[in-house]
Structure 1
Amino acid sequence: MQEISVPAKVVSPRTMNTTEFVLRQAKLAANPALFSKRNEDHVWVDVSAKEFLADVSAIAKGLIASGINVGDRVGIMARTRYEWSLVDFAIWFAGAVSVPIYETSSPSQVAWNLGDSAAVAIFAETGSHENIIRQAAHNENLTTLEHVWQLEGDGLDVLRDAGHNVSDETLEAARTANGLDDVATIIYTSGTTGRPKGCMLTHHNFVELSENARAVLGKSVVPPGSQTIMFLPLAHVFARYISVLAVAAGAKVGHTPDIKNLLADLQSFQPTFILAVPRVFEKVYNSASLKAEGEGKGKIFAAATKTAIEYSRAKQDGGAGVVLKAKHFVFDKLVYVKLRNAMGGQVRHAVSGGGPLGERLGHFFQGIGLQILEGYGLTETTAPITVNRPEHIKIGTVGAPLPGNAVKIAADGEILAKGVCVMKGYFGRDDLTAEAFVDGWFRTGDIGELDEQGFLKITGRKKEIIVTSGGKNVVPALLEDQIRADAIVSQCVVIGEQRPFIAAIVTIDEDALPQWGKAHGLPAGISVAEAAKNATVIAAVQGAVNKANSTVSAAEAIKQFRIVDTDFTETSGHLTPSLKVKRAQVMKDFEAVVEEIYLSKKPV
């Protein structure tokens, strides 16, 4: 199959915008809880739809009183927290356009996003964030930026007070000023290369994509009363879209800004569904495996893993036999229930995006009773173009298009997208917008294929395909994903562009090292730098490389690798906020390692 188009199940009035979702929930007699936030005693306290509407309206009136006009751009720079969504909707109620900024951004990155979007105001989480913003405004002479409000302290109270004299009629005129065709937000692509581009996402994108997702996921994944805890950055389109979808569906959202507390937060909040990037699922599996090894239960966990994967595969292929069902039942009592309880005990579905999830991992989680619904999309497509659904799933693919979306495979294998998910264009860059489309189809830059049932499989990134000096095309992700799945490995970057052979740069998982080291006889307290030179670690990485190599041809196989003594992180500048590797930055910073590989003795 080369093309598939799925008709929209819901078509909204052109005068509608995203704020209608809040009004819809507040009008319900049940007055559902839309959010939950921790109080001073760390107890989760629900925020009802009516309470949320009242506070959003009060802050929106404050924005209007402060001179924010319809169409003005207003920034948000904060960690993932309740107030992020509160001010996001307040900006929309005031008829303005929100501009998310990652809270880890440097002054120059902040300056670019605010300056390029000509933002007139910004919400900052803390004093330190405000300092970065003011430094950025001073350095780049951002004359349009008039207001900086803090989420902590009394910043929001100042706005609430400022809006007392703004009438309900004035607020309603601002709230209804935008229709589906108007811009709701400008999200700057974190990008692995070049200057970030401002993706203009409209109310049409959020409304139609949420309504059509609700039409197919509303009974199973996001029914009224379902709940999720948000730990991905809300500045990222994936978390942002799910946050809007939750309001549309009447699902409750909690927030946790620090992933280090994630397990405790999952257990206290007890979500029914979660969303995460593949690295989170890899870490959950690897830490469970290492814990079992450390307790002398490694063989039981390995057998339980094998059974879970076999059970899931059998179910997908038509049904599990009596013996397999019996084994699965036993391991469910011994192992799987503990894993589910570790995530709060109520999670039934997990939405995975932001990168490819290994097929083996997908089957493992499905087999233990946590169904991972892998989807695919970009900032430019408001997150999901396609997604697997509980009743329409094929593990190893990223699902079929959501209603209202279409996918086409170009002659060179590039995935093209069209539909309710696709952005209006790049802010102030008509030239780049024109380049991004061909005959009305958005060019994703990813390579993939559609099967006979319309399920999409991603095979790589067009720009990342390596062409060796011998002319062989190699898709690095096919090798990297398999190697990164090993417990001791954090990141892997496959190299070889115009080189005689394929090689890899590997980093060690610092969090996994103590437990892994103990299980494998490494000295206590061994550092990452020491582990990078340790023979046991090198042998383990070689084993992971050999395993990955067995799935590709000899010309595509990794002939040499080097373990570097520091991990790639967002702070080091080697990962985007959604944990994708900035390949060009790695190549630049580890140039000496790359050259050493290719100056060494050529592999046989």
Structure 2
Amino acid sequence: MHPQIILHEVPKISSVQNMIIRSAGVFGNKLAIEDLRQTPIPRLLYVELLTNVLKFGSALKKLGIKRRDHVAIVSENRVQWALSYLTCMCFDFVVCPIDRNLPTNEILNILHESDSVAVIYSDQFETMLSEARPSLKHLKWYVNMDLASRQDHRYSMAELITHSAVCRVEELPKIDPTEMAEIIFTSGSLARAKGVMLSQKNLASNLMAMVSVVLIDQNDRFLSVLPMHHSYECTCGLLCPLYTGASVHYAQSLKTVVEDLQTTHATILLGVPLLYDKMFKRIHKGIQENKMKSLIVPPLLRATNLLSKFGWKASKRIVFHELHERFGGSIRLFITGGAASNPAVASGLQSFGFNMIQGYGLTETSPILALNPVQIHKDNAAGIPLPGVEIKINNPDHLGVGEIWAKGPNIMLGYYKNEKATRDVMENSWFKTGDLGYIDDDGFLHIAGRLKNVIISKRGENVYPEELEDLLLRSQFIQECMVYGEKDPKHGEVIAVQILPDAEAFIALAETENVKITDELMRETLNKEVAKTNKQVSQFKQITKIYIREHEFEKTTTQKVKRYLALKNSGITAE
């Protein structure tokens, strides 16, 4: 642990069940979770959350669902999703959260592969599940979040809760925290997706370690925008605030984030790099398009940076008060994860007085391995290992870069019904992340890229696509890009890039230069941007082929580009 980092005292918990019972007792009549859309259960206080868990769990038991049975959840973010998940944790059902954005065949495949006997779902999935019911023979119970009352084989979640008696806390099953508590299927095609088995001990240990590094308390309000089936949002955006007495507010949609920040006066926003990239670009664009602001803001930034160096850090929030009010006026922390963030965006937001930190982890690690503390952080680093987590760099090269291996109480139990895949990633309790990185002299972990994405140059040098992508994305003319190795008959493997141009930037360019947007203008501009990147890297890393895309890349729910699909799909114009 870095010597300047002071760890916070945190309550000891042994399981998620233990955490929810404790929080209901400590935070009682305080708001726990809230939907900003109209739903059957729009908000719950902490005491009401526990009461509803006890009632819903009792109702599911009465239907015939037993301890250790597998229960799937598929719906958009809402209070009932959180309630269903916590009920499974408290009643010792194994929960299987499903990505609601997956194609129908993949959702059905996960229902089958997870051995779920019940599914809790929103109306959005009613038709799909009804049509597939004859083939889902192992599924015995269908619980609809939106039904007012039971219809045929479909149970109403609201009705089950309303008509159920409340069992006493003492009657809850005794949890073995080391047993499998949930199965999370990683994103990928049917052949690639693996069911990650996590225990309540995995989750509880990660919660305690995270909060000991980054202080979160009952005065905080989280705006939840990321899909809840993902371990990043579920652990950090649901369990973490409930552990600390904070409140969770479910955004109406990604398009209403700014409006929802203003409504809730949220103090913490959990996001992925793409969200903050777009946010920063809009701030930058707003300044550029306003002549007065374009003249005033740069000297103000220089002045407040100087004042911050002399200890007056509040100067930024005071000077850029209007900008902070646009985001609700209460934001104290932007947290980014799920993919590597752009250091320029982090430093840019910080220059306006916003605190922004990033963390690193995987579903298999519950999910956080490393986190940047607020008091001492590095914008270009993933963070320091959490307390109790060991990280080592396996087989480092001459630059110290190697595969990141991790060990700790948050490492998964394995992949569900896939012992071979588990053996492939585990070695003497060390989990092989598949990510490449290095640890600097201050103990901060830096991510170089994915092992499987590395391009080997003709000279045998490693080229990390993510490094080049990071540089390219600093251009206002590039909305998205993907760097990869491409076979060339003359030169072996060369470095290529697919680029999605930023339409708004080209419109602004055309207006400023009084020119028309043509294919030639676009190609010339993007060639110059790639040339700028090439000047910043060694010759063996330089991009030699450029492809212009017409459509956005297909992405995972945490906005990572699905690289394997991008290489297959058409719609790319070659340069």
Normalising to structure 1: TM-score of the pair?
Answer: 0.84
Query: Is 1:238 aligned with 2:232?
Result: yes
RMSD between aligned residues:
3.1
Instruction: Say if 1:9 and 1:404, in contact at 8 Å, map to a contact too.
Output: no
Q: 3-state DSSP class of the match of 1:589?
A: coil
Q: Distance in 2 between matches of 1:83 and 1:427?
A: 26
Distance change >3 Å, CA 210–CA 555, structure 1 → 2? same
Q: Within 5 A, what are the aligned runs for 1:49-448?
A: 49-126=46-123, 128-138=124-134, 141-154=135-148, 155-161=156-162, 163-164=164-165, 168=167, 172-173=170-171, 175-191=172-188, 194-218=191-215, 222-242=216-236, 243-297=238-292, 299-300=294-295, 303=298, 307=302, 311=305, 320=309, 329=315, 336-412=320-396, 413-448=402-437
Q: 3-state DSSP class of the match of 1:200?
A: strand
Aligned-residue offset at 1:30: 5.7
| 2:469 equivalent in structure 1 | 480
Query: Is 1:34 aligned with 2:32?
Result: yes
Q: Larger deviation: 288-297 or 268-277?
A: 288-297
Distance change >3 Å, CA 121–CA 257, structure 1 → 2? farther
Aligned-residue offset at 1:268: 0.8
Q: Distance in 2 between matches of 1:388 and 1:419?
A: 18
1:334-389: CA deviation from partner (whole Å, max 9, x where unpaired): 6x333322221111111110111122222222222211111000111112100001
Q: Distance in 1 between matches of 2:444 and 2:27?
A: 40
Q: 3-state DSSP class of the match of 2:26?
A: coil
1:88 partner letter:
Y
1:550-601: CA deviation from partner (whole Å, max 9, x where unpaired): 3211121112312121222xxxxx21111111111111113975xx55xxxx
Q: 3-state DSSP class of the match of 1:168?
A: coil
Which of 522, 542, 548 in structure 2 is aligned with 1:537? 522
Instruction: Say if 1:193 and 1:582, in contact at 8 Å, map to a contact too.
Output: no
Q: 3-state DSSP class of the match of 1:31?
A: coil
| 2:152 equivalent in structure 1 | none
Equivalenced residues, count? 553
Instruction: Say if 2:7 and 2:212, in contact at 8 Å, map to a contact too.
Output: no
| 1:571 equivalent in structure 2 | none
Normalising to structure 2: TM-score of the pair?
Answer: 0.88
Q: Distance in 2 between matches of 1:304 and 1:45?
A: 46
| 1:564 equivalent in structure 2 | 549
Distance change >3 Å, CA 226–CA 100, structure 1 → 2? same
Q: Distance in 2 between matches of 1:7 and 1:282?
A: 30
2:158 partner letter:
D
Q: 3-state DSSP class of the match of 2:285?
A: helix
1:155-174: CA deviation from partner (whole Å, max 9, x where unpaired): 2123225634xx725x754x
Distance change >3 Å, CA 29–CA 101, structure 1 → 2? closer
Aligned-residue offset at 1:74: 1.0
Q: Distance in 1 between matches of 2:269 and 2:300?
A: 21
Q: 3-state DSSP class of the match of 2:526?
A: helix
Q: Distance in 2 between matches of 1:446 and 1:215?
A: 25
Structure 1: runs of 5 or more not aligned: 524-530, 569-573, 598-604
Percent of aligned pairs sharing the same letter: 25
Instruction: Say if 2:483 and 2:495, in contact at 8 Å, map to a contact too.
Output: yes
Q: 3-state DSSP class of the match of 1:496?
A: strand
Aligned-residue offset at 1:45: 7.5
1:484 partner letter:
L
Q: Distance in 2 between matches of 1:484 and 1:381?
A: 28
Aligned-residue offset at 1:285: 0.8
2:266 partner letter:
P
| 1:602 equivalent in structure 2 | none
Structure 2: runs of 5 or more not aligned: 149-155, 397-401
Report which structure shows greater RCO (CA 8 Å, sep ≥6).
1
